[in-house]
Structure 1
């Protein structure tokens, strides 16, 4: 297990770097994030197993995992798009193996990039979307359209509320990535691109099953889709923790600048703006474990509907872990 944890610490550092963190995160911080992610995955498997038991089966399905995050419409939409393009990628590879793809099949390498980089959530680039690799929509049992035997034909220009939220979140992430890479040279950008491919599950399925607790938390034997979904969600967890921790650190640094940072500068009202001939400021320091703790506390903040249980004594009711 120690080898697995050491490997995932490297993956976590790469994910954090893509999310805006420096490349020298301390082992203590990455270990704390890994513990949080492992706790979240364990809770997902536990709840998914309970949902499967309600249906009278022992094996969890992809719908059980998606049901756990159903309230986050943007994340659900990104996950459905991820699974759709994963299916297209698999079909394209199968057609190539059978000799039916030829030179026009193309785009398989693009699908590899999309499948291993869930931060985009939009699959291959627009140029690879043709009639042969058009993605199929992933339906869910609780969708309103599944209640009827006849389905309304979809329009190409039609977007639902989930897709609109997903597009807004995706554009925001692309904008942030553009800001982070604006001043990079070719070598730095190549490293950034490699870090975007970091994953808990890609080519590490066996190790991930052991790390996640399959066979301990649940007796279900996961298929490839289950592992890929968990890989997608773990990437999202690390990204959210990093972005929230960066906000915490930014607020802390701003407070230190306003107060002077140490006792010698507390008498000054406010630091002046840097001048033309001032020495360069110190390099940006990475987030620490205290920032991760505060970020996790904020992400665990209960929803408004949980306030209805405030009148219940603490001894008879305990707030469950919130999935992030």
Structure 2
């Protein structure tokens, strides 16, 4: 007679039941993306901090640069199409990476000088090899000082015909076409003449006495700057020839797009002040960074347009669009042919290729690179 029990299952009874009725196996599944990583296997429990991280990544907020602001700058640089948010996000990431690298290197330069705060000379020293950009930046800072001194004199003197007031100047501090802001009319007061910004590594700074400059004298940097400026002015003139009043008004509004205008606090947080560097920036540092970030967007857009033009030419020559046209023989467009497809804007792949080209090292940087150096990684190049 079997022994009576109180109804509880013994361990061997549980084992027999599991063998008789095994549970169904868990099927592996590829879960959705979690903040940049993938998991293959059973669905895991996402930790709370990862939930918060993913919410921050996917939340549609109002970033500093924003899609519309970058689209305006790309429109001025030559991109007339409707750029996708993925393209502008990639550009914003590149610009932020460049700004943080600038601040890091400028902080290292300031530490070598024995100071904790970075100066304008530290930022200009990082781009000293690009003479045209340095000249545009110095001109930008010079006219900024002129506008400031003219505004101060206008407030003290009460304004007047000979006071050299601020009304005689173009107050557009960020002119994307020129890269600088200059006077709209001739200045009447010699005090408001554009002052030349001196740099510590210039040859003239090695001597106590400075040779007076002539008004008709131009150095090599100004000649390079004028050549680049004339080229941009020519492109802008060709684009605005067929515009009506509304289109030109939109073009003028896009030219006033700025990274730092009325965004000083957000720009400091976005750039990494307090994280990358402990230095507290002044207005000149923020203006220089705003000028350089606009230059980065301009270079990326111009190079991406070249990449896309080469890609379109290759497709057109090799017959890459034959599938859409029923594999008919290509011929010259006639009078009654339907209009061609609308031009597509640049995409992330064009921006990526443009960034790769801009990161190509100079000849002097490739000296003795044939010698093996192990796992050596090329440093980031400032564009």
Compute the TM-score of the two structures, normalised by the length of structure 2: 0.78
Deviations 1:140-199 (A, max 9, x none): 000000000011010000000000000000000000111111111110100101101111
**Aligned equivalent of 1:99:** 157
Q: Residues 17 and 195 of structure 1 are in contact (CA less than 8 Å); yes or no, is this contact kept in structure 2? A: yes
- Distance apart, 1:79 and its partner CA: 0.2
Counterpart Cα distance in 2 of 1:282 and 1:107: 52
Gap regions ≥5 residues in structure 1: none
**Which segment drifts farther, 255-264 or 244-253?**
255-264
Say if 1:142 and 1:93 are closer, same or farther in 2 by CA, change over 3 A.
same
Say if 1:97 and 1:104 are closer, same or farther in 2 by CA, change over 3 A.
same
Count, aligned residues: 324
- Distance apart, 1:275 and its partner CA: 2.2
Deviations 1:262-302 (A, max 9, x none): 35379979733322222222222110000000000000001
Say if 1:266 and 1:191 are closer, same or farther in 2 by CA, change over 3 A.
closer
Say if 1:8 and 1:20 are closer, same or farther in 2 by CA, change over 3 A.
farther
**Aligned equivalent of 1:179:** 238
Q: Residues 168 and 186 of structure 2 are in contact (CA less than 8 Å); yes or no, is this contact kept in structure 1? A: no
Say if 1:223 and 1:8 are closer, same or farther in 2 by CA, change over 3 A.
farther
Say if 1:5 and 1:108 are closer, same or farther in 2 by CA, change over 3 A.
farther
Q: Residues 13 and 30 of structure 1 are in contact (CA less than 8 Å); yes or no, is this contact kept in structure 2? A: yes
Q: Which has the higher contact order (CA 8 A, sep 6+)?
A: 1
Q: Residues 113 and 197 of structure 1 are in contact (CA less than 8 Å); yes or no, is this contact kept in structure 2? A: no
Counterpart Cα distance in 2 of 1:45 and 1:67: 12
**Aligned equivalent of 1:87:** 145
**Which segment drifts farther, 184-193 or 118-127?**
118-127
Compute the TM-score of the two structures, normalised by the length of structure 1: 0.91
Say if 1:318 and 1:104 are closer, same or farther in 2 by CA, change over 3 A.
same
Say if 1:245 and 1:129 are closer, same or farther in 2 by CA, change over 3 A.
farther
Gap regions ≥5 residues in structure 2: 1-49, 61-69
Say if 1:315 and 1:111 are closer, same or farther in 2 by CA, change over 3 A.
farther
Say if 1:75 and 1:107 are closer, same or farther in 2 by CA, change over 3 A.
farther
Q: Residues 89 and 108 of structure 1 are in contact (CA less than 8 Å); yes or no, is this contact kept in structure 2? A: yes
Q: Residues 164 and 192 of structure 2 are in contact (CA less than 8 Å); yes or no, is this contact kept in structure 1? A: no
Counterpart Cα distance in 1 of 2:170 and 2:51: 29
Counterpart Cα distance in 2 of 1:24 and 1:9: 22
Deviations 1:117-148 (A, max 9, x none): 25314522354575342110000000000000
Which of 1, 4, 28 in structure 1 is aligned with 2:86? Answer: 28
- Distance apart, 1:318 and its partner CA: 1.9
Q: Residues 214 and 221 of structure 1 are in contact (CA less than 8 Å); yes or no, is this contact kept in structure 2? A: yes
**Which segment drifts farther, 176-185 or 302-311?**
302-311
Q: Residues 49 and 58 of structure 1 are in contact (CA less than 8 Å); yes or no, is this contact kept in structure 2? A: yes
SS in 2 for 1:175: helix
**Which segment drifts farther, 301-310 or 36-45?**
301-310
In terms of fraction of residues, the more helix-rich structure is 1
Whether 1:7 and 2:56 are equivalent positions in the alignment is yes
Counterpart Cα distance in 2 of 1:233 and 1:9: 29
**Which segment drifts farther, 102-111 or 113-122?**
102-111
- Distance apart, 1:4 and its partner CA: 17
Say if 1:54 and 1:119 are closer, same or farther in 2 by CA, change over 3 A.
farther
Which of 153, 167, 175 in structure 2 is aligned with 1:117? Answer: 175
Say if 1:161 and 1:3 are closer, same or farther in 2 by CA, change over 3 A.
farther
